[in-house]
Structure formats: C-alpha cells, structure tokens
Amino acid sequence: MNKIPRHVTIIMDGNGRWARQRGLDRVFGHRAGVESVRAVFETSAELGIEYLSVFAFSEENWSRPDSEVSALMSLFIKSINNEKETFLKNGIHFRVLGNRERLSPELNAAIDDLDAATAGGTRMTAIIFVSYSGKWDIAQAARRMAAEGGDDIEKYLVTYGIPDPDLLIRTSGEQRISNFMLWQIAYTELVFTDVLWPDFRREQYLAALEEYSLRDRRFGKVK
C-alpha cells in the first residue's frame, strides 16, 4: 500500500440485517459488530494510522425502539470498560464526540474515565461518535461562535484539532452520509462496500485501504 491515510472514519452499518439473516435479534448484530471495531482499531494502530473514528450512534438513532437504544447504551458501557487494557497497552487515546448531554451519567462517567486514563496515548487516537449528527455539530458550533464573537467555525466543531478524514468507509451497501460529519468530509474519499459491519474485519478493511491508495486526490487543483 503506497498511501496510508492519516484519518479513517467509518459509518458502521448493517448490524441489524446481519442478525436478521441469522434469525437473531438485532442486538446480536451489534454485539458481533464490537468484534469488527476491535479488528479495525488493531489493524489501524499496526499500520500507523493516526486517527480512526467510527460512527456508533446518531442523533436520529435515539428514535429507535427503547429496547434497542438501551441495549446499545449497555453495550457501549461494557465495551468501554472491557477495552481499557487494550487501549492502554497499545498507546491509543480514546475519545467520544457527540451530544454528551443526552448520555446517561453512567456512560458519561465511563467515557471520561477511559479518556483521562488513555490521554497519554500517542500512537493513535480512537474516536467514537455517539449521539452525534453533522447538522447538530455545525449548529452547536455556530451558537458558540456567535456567543463568543468568533469567526472561525472550525474551532467550535467538536472535531477541532482532529484532521479532516482522508477516507470514509460505509458498510452494508448504503450509499449515503446519514448526517455524519458534514463539514469535515468536504474533501474526503468515499468507499462504499456491500459487506455488513459484523463481517467487516481485517481483510475487508485492508481492501478498502487499498482502494483509497489508488485514488488521485486533487483538492480542486490541477496536477
């Protein structure tokens, strides 16, 4: 691979369909999906990718049935607590971005704890977008910028300090952005794959990175 992106972001989609294909409840798809998250984190750290971010739960996802929302929130808490050692051992700084006000005190505490515990990690930053939407991000940035009389909106986005994604991968065959980072993906390369998220492991990830490495990025200029 001749080009390694600095920031890879992933819209993890297809957990529900993966479970349905097996006659299982959607929750089993989300659980299987956690293994895929681990696989892409590990592979990214190995390849020297500096930022790996994943869209885990959108603002719109709050409208899913209560049972699914609470299963997902429990899964986040459990995963955060389980992965602490892995993050520490691998020098990965763990962060969560999104509308934190909507998260439970227990989840917020687990996030703050892992973020603080791993803050010294310099090998890679792992970002989980939870209760996030691109329009929400731009709106909250605009409000804070107006309140402070600022003029650089980038400074107020929750992603401030994080380079814009070089590559966005979406699984499960859907070819849309679903209100993910809208401002930040202005020049991001998009790779869509039919693979459902629980089936997206190292091999599928390497294939997406390979596709990225063949892209010619021009940023509006003439080469």
With CB under 6 A as the contact rule, the residue among 28, 55, 200, 205 that binds ligand IPE is 55
Quick check: 96 and 56 in contact, CB under 8 A? no
Q: Which C-beta is closer to Mg ion: that of 156 or that of 197?
A: 197
Q: Indicate the residue among 79 and 172 with the shorter CB distance to ligand IPE.
A: 172
Among 5, 7, 9, 12, binds ligand IPE (CB under 6 A): 12
In the bound complex, what is the minimum distance in angstroms from residue 215's beta carbon to ligand IPE?
23
- For the segment 171-200, give every residue that binds ligand IPE (CB under 6 A): 172, 174, 176, 178, 197
Partner whose binding site includes residue 57, from Mg ion, ligand IPE, none (CB under 5 to 8 Å by kind): ligand IPE
Binding flag, residue 83, Mg ion (CB under 5 A): no
Which CB contacts under 8 angstroms, 24+ apart, belong to 61-69? Answer: 62/102, 62/131, 68/26, 68/27
Q: Is 2 noted as a catalytic residue in this protein?
A: no
Taking CB under 6 A as the binding criterion, the range among 50-58, 98-106, 109-117, 133-141 that sits at the site for ligand IPE is 50-58
Residue 13 or 137: which CB sits closer to Mg ion?
Answer: 13
Of these residues, 13, 15, 137, 166, which one is catalytic? 13
Smaller CB separation from ligand IPE, 15 or 125 = 15
Residues 5-34 that bind Mg ion (CB under 5 A): 13
Taken in order 68, 73, 76, 81, the sign of the CA dihedral is: negative
Please, are residues 157 and 151 in contact by the beta-carbon 8 Å criterion? Answer: no
Positions in 96-125 near ligand IPE (CB under 6 A) = none
User: Per the residue annotation, which of 61, 90, 108, 179 is the catalytic one?
Assistant: 61
> What amino acid positions are annotated as catalytic residues?
13, 61
Tell me which residues touch Mg ion (CB under 5 A): 13
